[in-house]
Structure 1
């Protein structure tokens, strides 16, 4: 479920592609490797240090638990860092909402590099058709189709155009108050997708979900997960629930991490 670490090979927002060096040791008797990477450029969990929120009556934005930007940039301070998730892991029952397959069956055409929205009504309908009953503590996965479009449809020129765009467009889950309430009331432990921003970007409605989910609730958000093989397995078994286990990087003060995740049927 982790995408190739070299992708997005044409990232946006001034992020850089992953660089990988192989270093010989002992005249080639052994080798090491060196990774230079921004986890946000490929499959990743957004940690609690990734996104802040506004607070009524205050001018300064804060992160989860009232953590400030000054605390995050102070390298002696590892408050709300990834090390806390790494010690416990992220594990539980995963549930897949395969919006991409559902939309294809209905002739709904869209690019995942647009402001196309997965609406709450769509998720509820897909869950009904697949006999999915959500449970407290579930980890929600929504397949929109980004990795498939990037790998099989887009040309290098289109990828470069996306990378150069100062105002990128990302398909994703709608950012509405109804969606926010549903996520809270359903009791998910984490949410993830193959989309770049999880939610549609730029926001098309009244809510930017990252502010509430990360900075308000402390819930992990996964993005750019490779859900293609998972979707095929779910379709083959006609079962859209499974066990997932993920161990984020044990980096004190870390902001984000590759998911290091697997699904077990």
Structure 2
């Protein structure tokens, strides 16, 4: 991949992006979830050692902020005032609502989430997405969950920094170098997780407008998951850098991952509890269990992925 004199990846023209899109699409005859075979699930489970479980989700944000103009809402619907001291049975009840595809809460993007040139993944017409819900490639494809071998590649650790600054871009070379530095390997069917340090930076410095500036993958880095045959891609950002490396396309990595390769995306994960456990255990792979909500016609779902080491 071409870089400027400072080593920063160069912007990609729309023509160059479309050429990359065609190449990756031709190499993805089946979606990523198809690579999660029973044999690979069994192999991932067999590698569990200490039995430690770690959540990869951030707490749901209910306060508005620069990255959450439409925060989730949570309110109690019962008990009514005065009921808590009443004799007999009383239930506490609550109600929850959220913008699933916001810029702060951990969620999964289904394959119907990304429309490009009037099509979904595999050439499915975008007209299958209607005001009543999606009619194809929905969350229902992963109703039985996503379970497999997760691998975390820690790019700030590789570069010797606490986090990548907003606008920084991860290259395929970074991913290969992180594999070597962490003495791990990404293989077919793996769930690939890329840490950019977003959550740590947010906690240290406060939230910011991530629509304008965020760290993520350079589009050409998508050659790496395509070559390795991964089943899922996730990040503690949303995988796309901002500003976009393709000036005319806002979310090129979403297009390449979901629309070209058929990879479900996990956005806005939290790896800050996982990293020290991986360092303590001396390994960066783990069994990962993801259970989306049963929303048959939906384009995505909040999730709480669990790493089991």
TM-score normalized with structure 1 length: 0.83
**2:58 counterpart residue number:** 3
Please list every run of 5 or more consecutive structure 1 residues that lacks an aligned counterpart in the other structure.
55-60
Q: Which residues of 2 match residues 19-58 of structure 1 at below 5 A? A: 19-25=73-79, 27-28=83-84, 29-41=90-102, 42-54=105-117
Deviates more, 1:127-136 or 1:243-252: 127-136
Does the 8 Å CA contact 2:153/2:178 hold for their aligned counterparts? yes
Matched, 1:130 2:182: yes
**2:216 counterpart residue number:** 172
Q: Relative to structure 1, is the Cα distance of residues 240 and 109 closer, same or farther in structure 2, using a 3 angstrom cutoff? A: closer
Q: Deviations over 1:179-202 (max 9, x none)?
A: 23322110100010101x212133
In structure 1, C-alpha distance between the alignment counterparts of 2:179 and 2:308, rounded to whole Å = 20
CA RMSD across the alignment: 2.4
The structure whose Rg is larger is 2
Q: Deviations over 1:126-179 (max 9, x none)?
A: 11111112221010111111111112222xxxx3x627xxx5121111112xx2
Does the 8 Å CA contact 1:45/1:257 hold for their aligned counterparts? yes
Shift of 1:209: 2.2
Please list every run of 5 or more consecutive structure 2 residues that lacks an aligned counterpart in the other structure.
1-55, 85-89
In structure 1, C-alpha distance between the alignment counterparts of 2:170 and 2:62, rounded to whole Å = 24
1:190 to 232, 237, 246: 232
Matched, 1:83 2:125: no
In structure 2, C-alpha distance between the alignment counterparts of 1:7 and 1:201, rounded to whole Å = 24
Q: Which residues of 2 match residues 52-201 of structure 1 at below 5 A? A: 52-54=115-117, 61-75=118-132, 78-86=135-143, 88-103=144-159, 105=160, 110-111=164-165, 114-154=166-206, 159=207, 162=209, 168-176=212-220, 179-195=221-237, 197-201=238-242
In structure 2, C-alpha distance between the alignment counterparts of 1:185 and 1:237, rounded to whole Å = 28
Shift of 1:238: 1.4
Q: Deviations over 1:35-76 (max 9, x none)?
A: 11012230111111221122xxxxxx2112434443212426
Shift of 1:9: 4.3
In structure 1, C-alpha distance between the alignment counterparts of 2:278 and 2:163, rounded to whole Å = 22
**1:17 counterpart residue number:** 71
1:224 to 258, 268, 284: 268
Q: Relative to structure 1, is the Cα distance of residues 134 and 222 closer, same or farther in structure 2, using a 3 angstrom cutoff? A: same
TM-score normalized with structure 2 length: 0.72
Does the 8 Å CA contact 1:53/1:216 hold for their aligned counterparts? no
Shift of 1:95: 0.4
| Number of residue equivalences | 242
